[in-house]
Amino acid sequence: MSVNPAYGIASREAYEAAVARLREASSAYYNAEALLMGDAEWDALAAEAAAAELAHPEWLSPDSPTGKVAGGVGVAGTIRHEPPMLSLDNVYDHAELVAWVTRVERALGHPVTAGYTVEPKLDGLAVAARYVDGRLDRLATRGDGSTGEDVTHAVSRIGGLPAQLAEPVTVEVRGEVFFRESDFESANEGRVASGKPAFAAPRSAAAGCLRAETLNHDALLSFAAYSVMGIDAPTHMEAMSRMRMLGITAADVTACTDTTAVLTRIAEIGTGRALLGYGVDGAVVKANAAADRDTVGSGSRAPRWAIAYKGPEFPADVAVSRLVEVLWQVGRTGVITPRGRIEPVTVGGVEIAYATLHNVGDLTRKGFMLGDKVTIRRAGEVIPRIEAPLVDQRTGEETPIQEPAVCPRCGGDLDTTEARWRCRRGRACGLRESIRYGVSRDCLDIEGMGDALVTQLVDRGLVADLADIFTLTREQLLGLDRMGGTSVDKLLDQIERAKSQPLSRVFCALGVLQTGRSMSRRLARHFTRMDALVAATVADLEAVDGIGPTRAAVIAEELVELAPVIVKLQTAGVNLVEPVTAASASAATNDEDGATPDNRLPFTGLTVVVSGTVPGLSRNEANEAVERLGGSSSGSVSKKTNLLIAGDGAGSKVAKAESLGVRVMSADEFAALLADI
């Protein structure tokens, strides 16, 4: 572990207290379903303890977690690991990483022979899977590094670790078991529904679900291999390629020729980790050649040929704080959202004092109380979320959270029949937010209608719904603060221009529950006219890609509620039709008779991801352009992706696309295609 001698523990008593805290937190982290402190706090405290041990060797406690696998608290089991399963040493900045590279090459006596590899450091639980003649024989945790627990019973819960390999080989595969974000959410919902406390974080949840003999809720875990024994592979890259050929999911490994390439790849992983869909708390750098690794060797705790980089590109995305207060917010559709005020803590590199509690149902099911210690997560999200209360750390001084009896904004009645409580006045309660959303750039795009103006329009009763914007008069606008003749005329021109927006944008501006920009475009392309959308049955709506029975029912109910507003829009002369493009005409032809049209657009039938900045276009406008070219827009690169459009700052998505063989198009090429339609 890298230590900073500037840290200071002033006394032996303080050192021993730090060791006790570290062991308690490590035990919870590695062996339980709990989380007593975040990674950043643990690393900082461990660095203080290590610095104290260097300065005062006489203080060194046999219980110290420094220099030990799993912090010295991993549960030993009956399965012996040969060779031992080691931890990794950490470095925390570029200078420390370069110093490690220097040590490796000094030990070799020459530069590494096949460069280095870089892979995401998964935030999961290390395991070893033994295959005999191609069949999975046993699965064990790392434990204390020498022996681990037998968890073969859990194999059926793990994706990426097949029971039968593609070839009858005898190998031991080591890797990480972890939760993907979506699977963690599903497992947590099932756990809470079964009456148990919510999981604190994906990593501790993975440990608990892997060890449990039986579960009373579904839990789909994932696996990624990071090493293999029993296969003669001259490099790490070739070993991981062999894993994939056998049917095992392997780590996303990139070969790098030198330190500059290593640092570039680390930056890409750091930039793109929020989009991966699973936890990454650093990057692992390894000497690629097996011969180099053999020469450099290993210590008692960690290999010398590999290092975990945990620099500023990877701020911890989970932390522990205390819930101080619950504030109640009302959204644009009248939905009531609880927001927690917490003791300030750094999560994802940002100091957080407030975080969402998701919804009232979630708040109740998980049993939060004021004064609770809670876990805060910011993984892949812009908005930090209070994940779970740490029930076992309650002191008895916690107090119940008082849920609102009436709407916090208007004092009206609440609809509490769903997990998301809602003011019965709906959009009328959240009118300001609803109008601001409707006139935004990605909806009606009415320039000049900012927050201050919307507030005046609502407060003076000039606008009671979205459609009222289109009946505003010059005289009404001149009577508002800071609205002169020139400003009013420009605004009226913008409002008139907005009448010509396509149906997809008008529908999006209505703010229909459980729809957004992408779903609005799908609905508009499918039905083409607002009257067809309003007349659609639940079954009709389910025919649209991405709409299931629950969402279809909500949309149908919303359209009934919004019918008077839609009539007013039509009366005001607002366009309620989606332009028919060659792409939609092609789709219609195929739907009706299976024919293949001759006028296919460049992206017809393709799933396209836009990453980075495309000059002159917002992300929503770029996705709209993809669809005008006949494609289907998506937000993440996967095996289903056919094309990636890479603008400035595209980052790790380019590397992922290339690794999957996905075609990459520059923003300039994309612009040229748009110029032709």
- Residues with a catalytic annotation lie at 121
Residue 415: enclosing H or E segment and its boundaries? strand 414-415
Residue 283: CA atoms inside 13 Å, Cβ hemisphere, count? 29
What is the helix (H) or strand (E) element at residue 228, kind and residue range? strand 221-229
> Phi, psi at residue 288, to the nearest 5°?
-75, -40
Rg for the chain (alpha carbons), in Å? 29
Alpha helices in 413-529 (DSSP H): 431-438, 451-459, 474-478, 485-498, 503-509, 517-527
Whole-angstrom Cα distance, residue 455 to residue 440?
14
- The CA distance from 157 to 208, in Å, is 12
Write the DSSP string, 38-80: -HHHHHHHHHHHHHHHHH-GGG--TT--TTSGGGGTPPP-SEE
Query: What tokens were used for 291?
Result: 């011969």
Contact predicate 202/181, CB 8 Å: yes
Query: In whole angstroms, what is the distance from residue 573 CA to residue 564 CA?
Result: 15
- In angstroms, rounded to a whole number, what is the distance separating the alpha carbons of residues 124 and 278? 10
Does the bond joining 83 to the residue before it have cis omega, within 30 degrees of 0? yes
Assess contact for 330 and 429: CB atoms under 8 A: yes
Sign of CA dihedral 626, 631, 632, 638: negative
CA atoms within 13 A on the CB side of 121: 23
Token output for 223 = 């696996």
Indicate the burial class of 555 (C-beta count within 10 angstroms; 0-12, 13-18, 19 or more): buried
Residue 66 near residue 49, CB atoms below 8 Å: yes
What is the rounded distance in angstroms from the CA atom of residue 75 to the CA atom of residue 140? Answer: 11
* Calpha distance 442→464 (Å, rounded): 21
Please list, in sequence order, all residues whose beta carbon lies within 8 angstroms of the beta carbon of residue 452, skipping any fewer than 6 positions away: 482
β-pair partners for 117: 255, 286
